[in-house]
Amino acid sequence: MINKNNMLAAITAIASGIFALTGNAIAEQNYPIEIEHAYGTTIIEEKPERIATVAWGNHEVPLALGVVPVGMAYTSWGDDNDDGLLPWVDARLKELGAETPVLFNEGDGIDFEAVASTDPDVILAPYSGLSQEDYDTLSEIAPVVSFPDAPWTVGWREAIKLSAAGMGMSAEGDALIAELEAHIEETIAQYPKLREQSVMFIAHTDASDLSVIRFYSANDSRVSFFEELGMKHAEASEATKGNGKFSGEFSAEQIDAFDDVTLVVTYAGQELLDAMAADPLVSKMPAVESKSFVMLQDAPMSAAPVPTALMIKNYLGEYVDYIAKAAK
């Protein structure tokens, strides 16, 4: 049982710690900073003042720590009003009294010229799919913090640690992680029945062709986050973790692999659920039989599965409640 008084005291202490760290001389960080990642080691010679970010959600760590990037990715997926900002990002900018930074249009890949035009001191991209070529090109502009292992697999804690280190704010990053952990614990305590769920995130499955069921593996941060919300990964999601990739697939003939799936999360809609329910093989999945589907079609809920700093802080309750209602 969580003691609310103790939790409130902890959160207050954490918030005070962040204020103290940002207000005093934690900038006594030793330089140069060396950050290892999938493409080598990035060396940051001095405290960066101009922070740019590319790819999904990387701007949320600087914003959560009170730093407004000089440029960041335009967000179209999950945006509810076509301004390129998720609601929790827009709210944080307003809270900081800041104008919207330069937004990089990444519809056709990274806009290197736009990034260069912001004259950054460092470029943050721990949660991304940067290729070696992307990394090399960006590195000609400024030092780049990339993902540690494979594309799109970094968890939210590691994303915060890497970005905060790249900003010379490691201590503030650790305090932010502690604050968010307390918030997650307090939120999921309200939904004990989620612990009964074995969840799978189905991805890019064609309702007109159910011969192959595609899903995100437990390497993907959207899936790994389910465990923190009290649920367990479906065995198929966990079994494909060893491939180092963020997705996997099974043929419908292997439908027994999904016998433990009691809850499905998907970006698809009713059409997929109806097709699965009508399929003689796929309909045997427990989650299909019970119609326990979380359909993430509406903005901004479709963006919520990716656990980022500001989503966890400002939208976690709505996301968990949405899942819990489907689980019923």
Q: Which domains does the chain have, with CATH numbers?
A: 4-187 (3.40.50.1980), 192-327 (3.40.50.1980)
Is 37 a residue whose pLDDT tops 70?
Answer: yes
The SS3 call for residue 28 is coil
Is 53 a residue whose pLDDT tops 50?
Answer: yes
pLDDT tens digit sequence for 229-245: 999 999 998 888 777 77
* Least confident residue range of 76-90, 117-131, 239-253: 239-253
Query: What tokens appear for 4 in the block?
Result: 């609310």
pLDDT band at 28 (very low <50, low <70, confident <90, very high): low
Query: What tokens appear for 172 in the block?
Result: 């503030």
Residue pair 62/163 in contact (Cβ under 8 Å)? The answer is yes
User: Comparing 60 with 20, which gets the higher pLDDT?
Assistant: 60
Closest CA to 214 of 235, 236, 232: 236
pLDDT tens digit sequence for 129-187: 999 999 999 999 999 999 999 999 999 999 999 999 999 999 999 999 999 999 999 99
**Residue 41 half-sphere exposure toward CB, CA atoms < 13 A:** 5
Instruction: Write the single-letter amino acid at 267.
Output: Y
Closest CA to 28 of 170, 178, 177: 170
Across residues 19-35, what is the average pLDDT? 61
Query: What tokens appear for 272 in the block?
Result: 């997929």
